[in-house]
Chain A
Amino acid sequence: MCCLISTPSPIISAKKKKSQSVINPNYENRTSKKPKKSNSSNETGKGEQSVQPILSYLIDVDTLRTLIRKKAIRVVDVRRTEEYNQGHIESAVSIPLASVLDAESTEKVITIMQDAGIGDHTPVAVYDDTFGALAARVAWTFQYAGHANTSLLELTFSQWKNHGLETEKKINKFPLTHHSMNVNKDIYADAEYVEKTKGMENNFLLDSRERLNFLTEHIPGATNLPYTMLGTQESILRNTSEIKRFLENRRISSESEVIAYCGSVGTLSGLAYYALKMAGVKNVRLYSKSFKDWKRLGKPVDEFNDANYWDLSAE
């Protein structure tokens, strides 16, 4: 099975994938706007004016390699420029996380995408070299700016390399292209929104930080689902069935509204955003400025000082 849904050409997997087939629950939303023919002559796909593949939230290695070979995908490397320069996945462009976080406005994000040759319907795959969180934050930002067709690579760059897969050192540039702005407010939350929805039925505030940080202090009413629960040693995200079970144990259903946050810039919770979407939760928002913003605004926090849990860590 593969993650591609609308491409007619069969993608033959070289190896049996143990990662699940991910049917994008937002498939209808994404395809409701019929992929238009590119208005830029230099879209990916070298003038193939065919239907662009719609990616799911997670893209597997085989699918990515096929699309790279067909020049039908824009691969985005979010590591620091120096790291990119030392080698990256074939055809990848460099968009460091910091440049995306520094962008004060959505217009700036659109410019970044246009500079990388990403048009309205270009399939985009993002990767990092941590555990998917940095890639997830960039991918979420693209989605927020209106680029729905954004996917996370299931592996980190180190894992990709350890598997002996193709890398190159060439610095890739693609011609400027046009991207329209279509801000997706439905996936965004700020402190005000968090407060407004607090205590509403079937609304969950999800804290993605590690357990000890959560115990120390968190936004009142938050549920902890540490990012460490999301991935495995082999993939940045677990099987959907497992994530579903974790959510179900917390009484979170596909009909719940979930706002994810973490420590400061929404990376760990960005990964949670993707995990939840993959698991079929329809309404997920990222409180991208997260706990740092909450504290800066002087909002109340829940603390737990009755135990010396930090002294249990062997770090």
Chain B
Amino acid sequence: MKNVLNNSHTKKSLYSPKSNPRWGREEETDIFSQRVKLFRQGKISEDDFRRFRLQHGAYGSRLQQNYSMVRIKIPSGEITPEQLEKIASLAEAFSIGSAHVSTRQNIQLHWVQLEDVSEVMRGLVEVGLTTREACGNTVRNVMCSHFAGVCPDELFDPTPYAMAIARFFLRNPMCQNLPRKFKINFGCCQKHGLMRVADIGLVPSKRDELKGFKIYLGGGLGAASFIGHELEDFTPEDKVLATCMTVIRLFDRHGNRENMARNRMRYLVHEMGWTKFQQLVLKERSIVDMTISFSTAKSFDFKSEKDISRRLPESTRAKIKLPVINERINPDASTYDRWVHTNVVAQRQEGYNVVFVTLGAGDITSSQLRGLAGIIRDLSEEQSARNTPNQNFAIRFVRTEDLSNFYDKLSNIGLANPGALTIASAVGCSGTTSCNLAITNSHRLAKEVQLKLLQLGLDIDDSLSHSTIKISGCPNSCGQHEIATIGFFGGASRISGSMAPTYTMLFGGSAEENGELGKNVMRVPAKRVIDTILKIVEIYREERTGNESLDAWITGIVKGQGNKKIRNLDDIKLALSSVTNLPSITEDPESYRDYGNDVKFTAKTAKGECAA
């Protein structure tokens, strides 16, 4: 509601603002609105229009072609107060008054009328953002670890490289019509980042004093998921562009354009075999490297992506592992102490912290976005935020003495919930709230899980905090359920003769070094998911040995190495059956309905547009 004059955007901050990144282009907004008109007049075919629409970041809404989900690319997740405020206004005017942080560092506006998509794009251009190539068979938003630049374990900040790669491939003719979408993720160290579940994943590495990357290829999550393969020991920074170009060229040339269900690059790598693919990459790269023109090489300009106007403090102390604010906390701790414990970590730069803002499955209202923008201006020396794959915001370079002020300001806008860095912060894709492919309301479920775990105070149990819960509404992995300690993906099952919304539960996934994808455990009715999670925690507390954490215990069970009553997945399945079994629909009709529905469950889906 616009009942007060908002002066925050005119307010001067102590710190100089970031410059406009200029990802967007004004002319594309006019072209988009013209195309919508032509489409409405029947002058463009539905197929051509869909392809065009997706190339420009507008995804069809669930069973309603007149509306779009507009996906705003946030390269590296880096977003400024001006951009947050603009998104607030656009969400209010053209969407539903809330915006949504995605699991790939995009920000999504749902249920935008097709006629207004160009207006959203126009607003975004003003603050340098774009939706171009956020969907469709293109290079999608380039991700980067939200700890990049502040992580104690990183060798150097990969952000400028991530930005330069994003800029190089955006609108690049070589990736306008790939066999399928293409994802590039940067990590900062082996612990932080999703580099092992991307088509190309990169982590900073050094050989002597030479900067470079460790590159992983052919990873990715979906109906069939793979962990990326290591290309070589070390790729020097002057070979990064050639390597990425080579991989995209090979995918473009050899990728499957027939079978939409199996045309991501990971299938190509899988079918060809890693060794053969690896040889192909190395051979092709030597040619690309030799023939790359001077001007092409120059347009991969990571040096100019460095924010040289800003002199942020550098590390002044020895390496300390994140998080460092890990003193034990008891149940009667103040809400502030609890929040510091679960939402704040110290940076490698002494005296500075990363503050995480807890959201429910990535949802944030327009007025909260405006409030957050003001807080960033006042209290972050970096003058920006990073959004994270856990669907929240990380505000960095916050001075320790400002933390309580930060907390108070967050409280004022209803964003001071604890639990951001704990098991309570459940991830949920948009599910049946807006997606054509979804079978279940994973979005609402994630919020319900978070609410319950916070109510029970499970966020302050440090033995649980390294565990994650991630929920997708269908087998495609937008909720990243395969890299969760406890993951769920939605489906429909016939139980005692009636259809019920159910989730397949997975155990033991992780994207960290040596991490594995989650293993299927069993199906759980949607309305039993929360009870099942609580039962798992209960069993774990009885069964653990010493200081064993939940995720370690679960990994042990996946390997069949549990050392008490519960030894393997069959044992846990049996132990959970009392919670997961449903009575008949007449005895308990509620359990046969999904969250947010008061009618009988039916699995309704339409054709997805991921593969246009």
B604 — which chain A residues lie within 8 A by C-beta? 306
Of the four ranges (under 10, 10 to 19, 20 to 34, 35 or more), the interface on chain B belongs to 35 or more
In the bound complex, CA of A308 to CA of B596 (Å): 6
Cβ A129 vs Cβ B3 within 8 A: yes
Residue interface mask B62-73, A partner, CB < 8 A = 1:
111000000000
A163 — which chain B residues lie within 8 A by C-beta? 5
Cβ B96 vs Cβ A210 within 8 A: yes
- Tell me if A94 is interfacial: C-beta within 8 Å of chain B: no
B594 — which chain A residues lie within 8 A by C-beta? 308
Cβ B368 vs Cβ A211 within 8 A: no
In the bound complex, CA of A249 to CA of B61 (Å): 19
Cβ B433 vs Cβ A308 within 8 A: yes
A307 — which chain B residues lie within 8 A by C-beta? 61-64, 432-434
Give the contacting residue for A249; candidates B33, B98, B433, B441; CB below 8 A: B33
Residue interface mask A282-315, B partner, CB < 8 A = 1:
0000000000000000000000111111111111
B110 — which chain A residues lie within 8 A by C-beta? 309, 312
Asked, given contacts A215-B111, A224-B113, A314-B365, whether A158 binds B5 with beta carbons under 8 Å apart, the answer is yes
Cβ B36 vs Cβ A211 within 8 A: no
A215 — which chain B residues lie within 8 A by C-beta? 64, 111
- Tell me if B126 is interfacial: C-beta within 8 Å of chain A: no
B434 — which chain A residues lie within 8 A by C-beta? 307, 309, 312
Cβ B5 vs Cβ A233 within 8 A: yes
Cβ B111 vs Cβ A158 within 8 A: no
A311 — which chain B residues lie within 8 A by C-beta? 433, 441, 443-444, 447, 595-596
Of the four ranges (under 10, 10 to 19, 20 to 34, 35 or more), the interface on chain A belongs to 35 or more
Nearest CB in chain A: distance from B384 CB, A: 21
B597 — which chain A residues lie within 8 A by C-beta? 308
Cβ B433 vs Cβ A245 within 8 A: no
A233 — which chain B residues lie within 8 A by C-beta? 2, 5-6, 89
Closest A-chain residue to B443, C-beta based? A311
Give the contacting residue for B96; candidates A158, A305, A306, A309; CB below 8 A: A309
B113 — which chain A residues lie within 8 A by C-beta? 211, 224
Closest B-chain residue to A305, C-beta based? B599
Among the 9-residue stretches B114-122, B271-279, B474-482, the one with 4 or more Cβ atoms under 8 Å from chain A is B114-122
- Tell me if B93 is interfacial: C-beta within 8 Å of chain A: yes
A210 — which chain B residues lie within 8 A by C-beta? 96-97
In the bound complex, CA of A313 to CA of B597 (Å): 16
- Tell me if B94 is interfacial: C-beta within 8 Å of chain A: yes
Cβ B3 vs Cβ A162 within 8 A: no
B98 — which chain A residues lie within 8 A by C-beta? 312-315
Closest B-chain residue to A249, C-beta based? B115
- Tell me if B195 is interfacial: C-beta within 8 Å of chain A: no
In the bound complex, CA of A297 to CA of B594 (Å): 33
A sample of 18 inter-chain contacts (CB < 8 A) reads A129-B3, A163-B5, A210-B97, A228-B2, A229-B116, A233-B6, A306-B64, A306-B604, A307-B61, A308-B431, A308-B595, A308-B597, A310-B433, A311-B433, A311-B447, A312-B430, A313-B97, A314-B363
- B-contacting residues of A (Cβ < 8 Å)? 129-131, 156, 158-159, 162-163, 210-212, 215, 224, 226, 228-229, 231-234, 245-246, 249-251, 304-315
